[in-house]
């Protein structure tokens, strides 16, 4: 799994092999591996074969397995065409929170090159200087989440979790997964630490991001009502 980082204290819980697979596809297509979503990449025969091998390796080692990686949003159709069965868990988050988090991460990573740990005031100064990056990340959020909505519009095994309601939604998640036959370890209620979230922002941003967020909320509410 991808190790922890200064921007993610508890770790990313992301499968390194699958991350590298996604990065390789992006590199071969001549795009940044996650900061651009304005493209529709179709896997070639070699990439499909590699994906099948990744699935086979995990099927042979595990009765049940799963993974997370933000780049999955870009390749949902390709993965779902190769997986015989899959339950999709969508964790959605306020667009402005995501943009703010990515902006702060960019500032921290840049200053870390010079062994500088920014204070809150220093971070705020850089945020004002890099206001255009905030807008870029908000647009990126829209592009990624539209790909999610389009990719799973006709899928049945989809579970929706709102980040700001994650502590409460985890109980629903466990109930749904247990009902689908998954064998799970005892729920760790202390794992979610809201203090690590960048911010819980009540403002939804643009009309587009608000509309997208509401679509996720409506699906989540419908799912909970059906339990």
DSSP structural state of residue 180: T
User: What pLDDT is stored for residue 36 in this prediction?
Assistant: 74
Tens digit of pLDDT at every position of the chain (227 positions): 777 766 666 777 888 999 999 999 988 888 876 777 777 788 999 999 999 999 999 999 998 898 888 888 888 889 999 998 888 999 999 999 899 888 888 888 888 888 988 888 888 888 888 888 888 899 999 999 999 999 888 788 888 999 888 877 777 788 888 888 888 876 666 667 777 776 666 667 789 999 999 999 999 888 877 65
In the prediction, which pLDDT does 43 show?
A: 92
CA-to-CA distance for 41 and 20, rounded, in angstroms? Answer: 16
What gap in Å lies between CA 103 and CA 107, rounded to an integer? 6
Contact 135, 182 (CB under 8 A): no
Task: Tell me the C-alpha distance between 32 and 50, whole Å.
Answer: 20
Predicted local confidence at residue 145, as pLDDT? 94
pTM of the model: 0.84
Among 219, 210, 170, residue whose Cα is nearest residue 191: 170
Domain positions in the chain: 90-151+189-227
pLDDT at 124: 86
Output the CA torsion sign for 138, 1, 31, 115.
positive
CA-wise closest residue to 144 among 227, 34, 31, 28:
34
């Amino acid at each position: 799994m991808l190790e922890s980082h200064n921007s993610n204290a508890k770790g990313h819980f992301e499968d390194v092999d699958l991350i590298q697979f996604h990065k390789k596809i992006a590199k071969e297509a001549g795009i940044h591996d996650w900061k651009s979503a304005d493209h529709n990449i179709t896997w070639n025969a070699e990439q499909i074969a590699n994906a099948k091998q990744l699935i086979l390796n995990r099927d042979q080692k595990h009765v049940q397995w799963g993974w997370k990686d933000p780049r999955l949003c870009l390749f949902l159709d390709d993965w779902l065409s190769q997986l015989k069965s899959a339950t999709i868990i969508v964790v959605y988050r306020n667009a402005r929170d995501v943009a703010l988090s990515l902006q702060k991460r960019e500032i921290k990573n840049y200053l870390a090159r010079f062994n500088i740990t920014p204070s809150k005031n220093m971070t705020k100064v850089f945020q004002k200087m890099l206001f255009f990056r905030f807008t870029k990340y908000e647009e990126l959020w829209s592009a990624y989440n539209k790909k999610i909505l389009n990719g799973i519009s006709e899928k049945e095994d989809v579970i929706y979790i709102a980040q700001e309601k994650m502590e409460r939604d985890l109980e629903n998640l466990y109930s749904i997964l247990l009902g689908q036959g998954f064998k799970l370890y005892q729920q760790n209620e202390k794992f979610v630490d809201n203090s690590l979230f960048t911010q819980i922002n009540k403002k939804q941003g643009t009309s587009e991001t608000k509309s997208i967020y509401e679509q996720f909320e409506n699906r989540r509410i419908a799912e909970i009502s059906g339990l």
